[in-house]
């Protein structure tokens, strides 16, 4: 039987954009391009299946964070619509660019901790 992997530690390491196995090596080679292997511990990362999950989570979080601020700004300050749209557009883009790689790293961490999509060790059964 295989030992359990700490899911919260893997999620936190992924959020920090680090390897979920060791926490030392960077998981990304670019903004969202994952490395094939961790440069620190050699863990294979290329077989993750993050797909559209991080984008959906980013949209969900940004929408729920920014919508109340938009409502309060509109009701309390009554700015010009162009100013309101400009300020909130910049805010939405900035928050999205901040969250997207972190959520992708966290999702990769979850997959690693649960041994999904090829993250099982040698001789372990794969979970698909």
Annotated domain spans of the chain: 7-113
Q: How far apart are CA 54 and CA 56, in angstroms?
A: 5
Determine the 3-state secondary structure of 127 from DSSP: strand
pLDDT at 2: 66
Inter-axis angle of helices 53-72 and 81-113, nearest 10? 150
pLDDT at 38: 95
Picking from 1, 44, 2, the residue whose alpha carbon sits closest to that of residue 19 is: 44
Please state, as a whole number, how many other Cβ atoms lie within 10 Å of the Cβ of residue 75.
Answer: 8
**Given pLDDT bands bounded at 50, 70 and 90, which one contains residue 124?**
low
The structure's pTM equals 0.88
Quick: pLDDT tens for 13-61: 999 999 999 999 999 999 999 999 999 999 999 989 988 999 999 999 9
């Amino acid at each position: 039987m295989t030992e359990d992997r700490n899911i919260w530690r893997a999620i936190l390491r992924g959020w920090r954009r680090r390897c979920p196995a060791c926490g030392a090596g960077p998981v990304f080679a670019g903004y969202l391009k994952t490395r094939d292997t961790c440069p620190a511990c050699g863990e294979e990362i290329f077989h993750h299946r993050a797909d559209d999950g991080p984008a959906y989570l980013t949209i969900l979080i940004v929408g729920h964070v920014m919508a109340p601020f938009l409502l309060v700004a509109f009701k309390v300050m009554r700015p010009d619509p162009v100013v309101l749209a400009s300020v909130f557009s910049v805010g939405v883009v900035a928050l999205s660019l901040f969250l997207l790689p972190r959520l992708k790293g966290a999702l990769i961490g979850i997959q690693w901790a649960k041994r999904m999509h090829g993250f099982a060790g040698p001789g372990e059964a794969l979970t698909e």
